[in-house]
Amino acid sequence: MGFLQALLPQDRKFFPLLNQASLNLVKTAKVLVELVNADPGKRKEYIKEIEHLEHQGDNITHMIFNELSRNFITPFDREDIHALTSAIDDVLDFIHGSAKRFELYKVDEMIEPYVQLADNILKGAIELNVAVHGLNNMKNAAVIKEACVKINSIENHADEIFNSSIAALFESETDPIRLIKIKEILAVLETATDKCEDAANTIQTILIKYS
């Protein structure tokens, strides 16, 4: 265990790439918040920016997976690196998926639950970035744990927003097509917070193994 901990700060490949991935996620989540708060005429540029950042995230993910295939020694278990990378990429994918649905469904009104869920996605991304950066040095275990706890709380709050929004939607919306569109967008946004929690759970697994 001590030997593995000694290896952690010496990594020059995986930690920089994971840091890039988490920082890119924060950038993307910030653009999502800007999107749901933007005037209709400005939304397309934010959607394009999210698409660009999602492609950057894909490139980082591929670089990490390539490093996994080439390197025998990794800072922590290969399956944990793979799971963490995949979870970060999943959050990006669902942010991108929500942005594309705003475009494809020609959404004209950004209802409050969209704004609330986007805010929660950003909060989760920020805490995930804190946790990922903390993995560079396992002496930061308390900081990492606190960030993971916050992510779990954020995901629970997102669940509450989603559930109450769906209940209100079925009570008030009379247009079945609009209902389907809103429900799907809400589900995609909420799933982004689920994937953020998946990443936090993987980080907690790493902490258990190596702290």
Instruction: Tell me the pLDDT tens digit for each residue of 124-171.
Output: 999 999 999 999 877 778 999 999 999 999 999 999 999 999 999 999
* pLDDT on residue 1: 41
The domain in which residue 194 lies consists of 11-210
pLDDT at 3: 40
Percent of the chain's residues with pLDDT above 90? 81
Give the pLDDT band of residue 73 (cuts 50, 70, 90): confident
User: pLDDT digit string (tens) for 104-120?
Assistant: 999 999 999 999 999 99
Residue 145 in tokens:
């744990």
How much is the pLDDT for 139? Answer: 75
In a domain, 76, yes or no: yes
pLDDT at 10 over 80: no
* Mean pLDDT, rounded, of the chain: 92
Q: What is this structure's pTM?
A: 0.92
Q: Reply yes or no on whether the pLDDT at 9 is more than 50.
A: no
Per the CB < 8 A criterion, the answer to whether 203 and 148 are in contact is: yes
Distances (CA, A) of 39 to 35, 57, 100, 110, 210: 8, 27, 17, 10, 47
52-74 mean pLDDT: 91
Residue 74 has pLDDT above 90, yes or no: no
CATH of the domain at 98: 1.20.58.220
- Measured between alpha carbons, how far is 90 from 192 in angstroms, rounded to an integer? 7
In a domain, 174, yes or no: yes
Mean pLDDT on 167-193: 96
Q: What length does the chain have?
A: 211
Q: What is the pLDDT of residue 77?
A: 87
The verdict on residue 5 lying in a domain is no
* Angle separating helix axes 78-104 and 43-70, nearest 10 degrees: 160
If we measure between CA atoms, which residue out of 4, 27, 51 comes closest to residue 209?
Answer: 4
How far apart (Å, rounded) are the C-alpha atoms in residues 102 and 109?
A: 10
Query: How many domains, in total, are found in the chain?
Result: 1
The answer to whether residue 188 scores a pLDDT higher than 90 is yes
Q: In this structure, how many other beta carbons lie within 10 angstroms of the beta carbon of residue 200?
A: 27
Distance set, CA 175 to CA 103, 166, 170, 178, 182 (Å): 19, 14, 10, 5, 11
Candidate from 66-75, 123-132, 172-181, 198-207 with smallest mean pLDDT: 66-75
Report, in angstroms and rounded to the nearest whole number, the Rg of the chain calculated over CA atoms.
18
Tokens of 125: 């991304």
Task: Give the C-alpha distances (Å, rounded to integers) separating 177 from 76, 94, 100, 164, 182.
Answer: 48, 22, 17, 20, 9
